[in-house]
Structure 1
Amino acid sequence: MLPHLSGWFIKCLGESSIVKRLRVSITAHGREGDIHPMYGVLTRAPFVERATALQWNFTGDALGILHYVEGDADAFAAAADDVDAVVGYDIEPVDDGAFYVYVRDATTASLAELFGPVSRGGLVVVPPIVYGADGTVTLTVFGPDEELQAAMGEVPDPIEVTVEAVGSLATSRVAPTARLTDRQREAVEAGLDLGYYDVPRTADHEAVADALGCAPSTAAEHLRKAESKLLRAVLGGE
Structure 2
Amino acid sequence: MIGWNRAPREISTFRYAIEGDTEAFVAAAQATDAIEPVRLVGSEETVSYVFLTARERLIPVMDQIFETIARAGVIVHRPIVWQDGKIHCHVSGDPEALQGALDALPDEIDCRIDEIGRFPCGRTNPASTSGERQREAVTVTLDLGYDENSRAATQGDIAAELECVTNTASEHLQKAEAKLVRAGIERIDSGCA
The TM-score bracket by the shorter chain reads 0.5 to 0.7
Q: 3-state DSSP class of the match of 1:151?
A: helix
Question: In structure 2, which of residues 183, 187, 190 is the aligned counterpart of residue 233 of structure 1?
Answer: 183
Map 1:31-180 → 2, pairs under 5 A: 53-59=1-7, 61-91=10-40, 92-95=42-45, 97-108=46-57, 110=60, 111-133=62-84, 135-169=85-119, 171=121, 173-175=123-125
Segments ≥4 residues shifted beyond 6 Å: 177-180
Q: 3-state DSSP class of the match of 1:121?
A: coil
Partner amino acid, structure 1, of 2:75: V
Q: 3-state DSSP class of the match of 2:111?
A: strand
Q: 3-state DSSP class of the match of 1:152?
A: helix
| Structure 2 partner of 1:46 | none
Provide the aligned length of Structure 1 versus Structure 2: 155
TM-score, with normalisation over the residues of structure 2? 0.63
Partner amino acid, structure 2, of 1:56: W
How much does 1:153 deviate? 0.8
Structure 1: which 5+ runs fail to align?
Answer: 1-52, 188-204, 207-215
How much does 1:94 deviate? 1.6
Q: Is contact 1:58-1:115 (8 Å) kept?
A: no
Between the aligned partners of 1:220 and 1:72, the Cα distance in structure 2 is 45
Query: Which one has a bigger Cα radius of gyration?
Result: 2
Between the aligned partners of 1:129 and 1:139, the Cα distance in structure 2 is 5
Map 1:169-208 → 2, pairs under 5 A: 169=119, 171=121, 173-175=123-125
Q: Is contact 2:11-2:54 (8 Å) kept?
A: yes
Q: Greater relative contact order: 1 or 2 (C-alpha under 8 angstroms, separation 6 or more)?
A: 1
Residue identity (%): 27
**Residues 156, 81 of structure 1: alpha-carbon distance in 2 compared, 3 angstrom cutoff:** same
Give the root-mean-square deviation of aligned CA atoms: 3.7
TM-score, with normalisation over the residues of structure 1? 0.52
Q: Which structure's residues are more often strand, by fraction? A: 1
Between the aligned partners of 2:153 and 2:35, the Cα distance in structure 1 is 45
Structure 2: which 5+ runs fail to align?
Answer: 129-134, 156-172, 188-193
Q: Is contact 1:86-1:104 (8 Å) kept?
A: yes
How much does 1:105 deviate? 1.0
Q: 3-state DSSP class of the match of 1:234?
A: helix
How much does 1:151 deviate? 0.6
